[in-house]
Amino acid sequence: MPKQAPEIQLAGIEIPDRSGQAKYRHLAEALRQRILDGRLSPGTRLPASRVFAAQLQVSRNTVLQAFTGLIAEGYLTGKPGSGTFVTDSLPEAFLHSQPAAPELDRQSPLPTDDPPQELELRPFRCGAPSLQDFPFALWTRVLSRQSRRLPFQAFGYGDPGGYPPLRRAVAEYLSTARAVRCQAEQILIVNGSQQAIDLCGRVLLGKEDVVWFEDPGYPAAKDCFQRTGARLFPVTVDRNGMQVELAQRQCPQAKLAYLTPSHQFPLGHSLSLSRRMQLLDWANRNGAWLLEDDYDSEYRFSGPPLASMQGLDRNDRVLYMGTFSKVFFPALRLGYLVLPPPLVDEFQEAKQLADRGCSLLEQAALAEFLEQGHFARHLRKMRLLYHRRQLALAAAARQRLPAEFRLQISHGGMHALLWLPPGENDRQVAERARQAGFQVEALSNYRLKSTGLPALLLGFAAFSEAQIQAGMESLATRVLLPV
């Protein structure tokens, strides 16, 4: 004669007053809990459905549904008429082995209810575009139009290289604006420049392969390459960019050089033509790759735009990459790689394995934005705006700071360098600034082995001229020149 479940074993089951579906699931979960933690032991007979329903004040149907589910899962066994029992054959190890985990309290405030970290931009945050100047209304119209217009068949799995019209529009834009030599098939659409770097690491680098890395340089690229198991060889940067001869002398057998030739990050210089050619020559002789990260070349304020290094390459050694995050907004995760034709298949395969390709709709909207000239118009507007902000930052620094603080602006970009008096510790200064409410970075944090004067990186793109002036005054009095 099987044991009957005493009332105490079923005590505490309360069914919240929700829809029918939620009720039977709740009941099933409560019973499952009691079986797993041993409160209902193997062989125990459960109350008849009608009786149990009355006890719980739910419909008999709810009880039957819960029983059916638990039978299907193997917790209960039962036949109509002869009753419902806790299964005998549950592996013993799982019973009584541990107390049930405490029920999650879904009413308690979740940490993610807090305002997202760093959502608020404060001077002088780097790498942040001016979001309030992006034409979101236009973007929304373009998105909606594309979403309505695309045939439903287009919403299946797409081309892993990217949405073809976008690839064509990017190829057209890069060949006109950046003297990149490419056809649409060489374009790989990726989820922002971070994925471009990641895919390069995965496809081009094996364990222990060496990467020439600009010093100081871009930390997210450093972390990404290191994760692949590659070794970084830091190459000091001077006013002409990476010191190529030094790298060639000390470490000729590198597999890849990661470069920001148009506007070195973070120092802001351009890589000289003769060094570009040395690099191309070295890569060609050694079968090495050059990854040209043209991360903010759209923002060149003075002088004609510098042509890309990719356009000089005649031996398929350069991979060129860029992103739309800085021109549009960072929450749009779309960028591109321009691949030498022999690498196209392997990168598409890697992208396929990484995530099967980018989401369609924003690609389609972006293609229209480029084709219709909205992109070029927005770029022209931002170039003027950022140039004014750059000059405002320089003027504010001249006005508020003594001569031993030197603000270095370059031919473009979205940040400037504030050189501190020799002997200052830029990490400590940055920390003081953060405590005073600023978002600034110390140049030392971007260095690998190189040494040099202390400096702060000051982003200016996201702040109005008034914010820049007030920010510099406050930075000067509260952080840089404490009485």
Which residues, 359 to 398, sit near a second copy by CB under 8 A? 359-362
Q: How far is the CB of 407 from a second copy (least distance, A)?
A: 23
Record the tokens describing residue 34, joined without a space.
């009691």
User: Least distance from C-beta 84 to a second copy, angstroms?
Assistant: 14
Pick 220 or 481: Cβ nearer a second copy: 220
Which range, of 5-13, 88-96, 415-423, 449-457, touches a second copy by CB under 8 A? 88-96
CB atoms within 10 A of CB 72: 9
In the set 57, 274, 372, 425, which binds a second copy (CB under 8 A)? 274
| Subset of 343-362 contacting a second copy (CB under 8 A) | 352-362
Asked whether the bond before 129 is cis by omega within 30 degrees of 0, the reply is: no
Binding-site size, a second copy (CB under 8 A): 113
In this structure, how many other beta carbons lie within 10 angstroms of the beta carbon of residue 103? 9
In order, the DSSP letters of 251-317 are: -TT-SEEEE--SS-TTT-PPPPHHHHHHHHHHHHHHT-EEEEE-TTTT-B-SSSPPPPSGGG-SSS-
Binding mask 55-74 for a second copy (x = CB under 8 A): ----------x--xx--xxx
Q: DSSP label at 335?
A: E
48 or 220: CB nearest a second copy: 220
**Does the protein bind a second copy through residue 464 (CB under 8 A)?**
no
416 to 435: interface string for a second copy, x by CB under 8 A: --------------------
Q: In what order do the strands lie in the sheet with 318-323?
A: 187-190, 335-338, 318-323, 289-293, 256-259, 210-215, 231-238, 241-242
The crossing angle, in degrees rounded to 10, of helices 360-371 and 164-177 is 40
- Regarding 306 and contact with a second copy (CB under 8 A), the answer is yes
Which of 196/476 has CB closer to a second copy?
Answer: 196
Kindly state the smallest distance separating residue 184's Cβ from a second copy, in Å: 5
CB atoms within 10 A of CB 143: 17
Q: Is 408 helix (H, G, I), strand (E, B) or coil?
A: strand
Please say which residue, 8 or 93, places its beta carbon nearer to a second copy: 93
Q: What is the C-alpha to C-alpha distance for residues 170 and 91, in angstroms, rounded to an integer?
A: 59
In angstroms, what CA-CA distances link 344 with 161, 163, 313?
A: 9, 15, 16
Contact positions with a second copy (CB under 8 A) in 151-190: 152-159, 161, 164, 167-168, 172, 175-176, 179, 181-185, 190
Q: Does 135 bind a second copy (CB under 8 A)?
A: no
Looking at the DSSP bridge assignments, the partners of residue 233 are 212
For 76, phi then psi, to 5°, come to -120, 155
Q: Report in angstroms how near the CB of residue 347 gets to a second copy at its nearest.
A: 13
Q: Which residues from 24-53 bind a second copy, rule CB under 8 A?
A: 24-25, 28-29, 32, 36
Give least dist CB 372 to a second copy, A. 16
Which of positions 101-130 make contact with a second copy (CB under 8 A)? 101, 104, 106, 110-113, 116-121, 128
